[in-house]
Structure 1
Amino acid sequence: MQKPRITAATAALASLLVLAACGTEKAGSDPGAGTVSPDLPVTGVHWAVDSLTVDGRKTPAPAGTYVEIEKNGRAKGNSGCNHFGATVTVEGDTLEVGLGETTEMACDAMDFETAFHKAFTGKLKAKLAGDRLTLTAPDGTTSLALTSEPPAPLNGTTWTVDSLLSGDTATSVPKGAEGKAHFVIDKDGKVGGSLGCNRFSTTAEISGRTVTFGQITTTRMRCTGPEMDLETELYEVFGGSATYELRHRGLSLVNAEGKGFAATAKG
């Protein structure tokens, strides 16, 4: 019987088949060997902080608390009272956070803010499920629960005033008036809401980044000192023209004298 002839091409093909078989066997015996888990898609998203859990105790986050992780390795947000910046490295399902700068406004949420910064520092294990993100500290006893939120439009959104602005300074609304002032600018330019004590209505004409308010009308209730103090500050803004800045779910309105306020979109 004539023996089969082995050519150089046949030998090369056989070698390739052996290598392929070896590679298949290795992958089957050691799943994931030689592969790198992709980074979780957490950048470029506005993450609203829902709650902070420490040693089993869950604390709801103040309204407007959020984190945004940018693709350039930076993060920014609001920790319940002050705005902050940080460095962030994303590797697979791990975030390494180094806290940077913060503003220094005093408010009632300082305890939460202190706990938040401790939780949002160091190497954190991330778990993403739909629009919900959980960040857990290495010891497993501290975690942050976050939810992705879409941006809020200027018109049709209920805006709640949470701080007062004067030049480069931001201060909390007067104690006792938190959450009392809110308003909506509808698609037709009609404005309505509360100044903290009295209901009010006016109109808004928007051109570029300028909002020109019309004649304002209010109810005539008498309220406590903090509410009236807040109302006086807001009346100055709604009584004329102001420059607005919209940042995802945050809005600021500042008049020509540099007086104004910041507000957060209602969830």
Structure 2
Amino acid sequence: MRNRRTAVGVLALLALAACGNETGAGDGSGSVRTAPRLTGVHWNVDSVTAGGRTTEAPDGAHVVIGPEGGATGNFGCNRFSAEAGTDGDTITVRRATTTEMGCEKGVQQFETTLSRAFSGELTAAVTGRTLTLTTRTGDTIRLTSEPPAPLTGTTWTVTSLVSGSTASSLPAGTEKRARLTFGRDGSVRGTLGCNTFRGNVTVTGSTVTFRRTTTTRMMCPAPRMELERVLLAVLDGRTTYRIDHRTLSLTAANGEGLAATAQASGG
């Protein structure tokens, strides 16, 4: 009888341990915490620390780890795809391939740093909305999850200019000055880096057509006026738009365009 009671007690302890490991540790309230989700989440890259040096990520850099294997994203300018697999808190990344768009020098340097770090065996740690990936050599990638952004009702901050297959940074001193917001009533408003503007838009499928755009007439330093000139040319008539989670691309018929990112939640 004693052996039978002991066996029952051991089985009960094993069952409790299994329940505790199934979805996470308890919080003392009788409930069980759900393990943080790693795959199927759009992770914005915040920074990379390599060789003791931390570099902030350009807008648009992100990673998505697929639940069935594989990873996609953007290294800061160029998109990438790679083989990837998860095993507990370990992610193994192999054979990344990228597009070959020309990038501004600083962004290109960041792409090189991130692509080297996001390779091989990585240890993942999720805390709330923050993911930290650590390489075997101790370098780290810090990422944050953000919900997808809709076209309308979102404040889009212009981050780069695009000409054909080449992306270029904004003129010095104009960073984060140009913004636009599409209203649900078919309006658009914002700032061009110097002057504010307002107009109407028609959204059909993957196109946005700008109509009756008016601006204020203030004069600003040359770099801001140059940015304004380029943006006015893009925001005139029919453009093709594409949203990649929280990045908006607008491209005119002549191949000239812009990229913008959604203002961070609560920002």
**What TM-score results when the alignment is normalised by the length of structure 1?**
0.79
Gapped runs of 5+ residues in structure 2? 25-34
RMSD over aligned CA atoms reads 3.1
Is the contact made by 1:173 and 1:230 (CA closer than 8 Å) also made in structure 2?
no
Paired residue for 2:168? Answer: 172
**Which secondary structure state, in structure 1, belongs to the residue aligned with residue 224 of structure 2?**
helix
What is the CA-CA distance between 1:113 and the residue it aligns to? 2.4
Paired residue for 1:232? Answer: 229
Paired residue for 2:100? Answer: 103
Alignment pair present for 1:254 and 2:251: yes
Structural mapping, 1:55-74, within 5 Å: 55-74=51-70
Letter aligned with residue 82 of structure 1: N
What is the CA-CA distance between 1:22 and the residue it aligns to? 9.8
Paired residue for 1:114? Answer: 112
**Which secondary structure state, in structure 1, belongs to the residue aligned with residue 115 of structure 2?**
helix
1:151 to 148, 151, 163: 148
Larger Rg over CA atoms: 1
The CA distance in 2 between the partners of 1:153 and 1:88, in whole Å, is 29
Is the contact made by 1:40 and 1:93 (CA closer than 8 Å) also made in structure 2?
no
Paired residue for 1:137? Answer: 135
What is the CA-CA distance between 1:40 and the residue it aligns to? 7.0
**Which secondary structure state, in structure 2, belongs to the residue aligned with residue 232 of structure 1?**
helix
Alignment pair present for 1:187 and 2:184: yes
1:128 to 126, 149, 152: 126
**How many equivalent residue pairs?**
245
1:221 to 207, 210, 218: 218
Report the CA distance shift for 1:51/1:174 in structure 2 as closer, same or farther (over 3 A): closer
Q: Which moved more, 1:147-156 or 1:43-52?
A: 43-52
Q: Deviations over 1:56-113 (max 9, x none)?
A: 5433322222111223422222223333222211111110112222433221333332
Is the contact made by 1:136 and 1:144 (CA closer than 8 Å) also made in structure 2?
yes
1:42 to 32, 38, 43: 38
Gapped runs of 5+ residues in structure 1? 1-13
Report the CA distance shift for 1:227/1:103 in structure 2 as closer, same or farther (over 3 A): farther
Alignment pair present for 1:78 and 2:74: yes
1:266 to 238, 263, 267: 263
The CA distance in 2 between the partners of 1:161 and 1:233, in whole Å, is 12
Report the CA distance shift for 1:204/1:46 in structure 2 as closer, same or farther (over 3 A): same
What is the CA-CA distance between 1:235 and the residue it aligns to? 1.2
Is the contact made by 1:87 and 1:100 (CA closer than 8 Å) also made in structure 2?
no
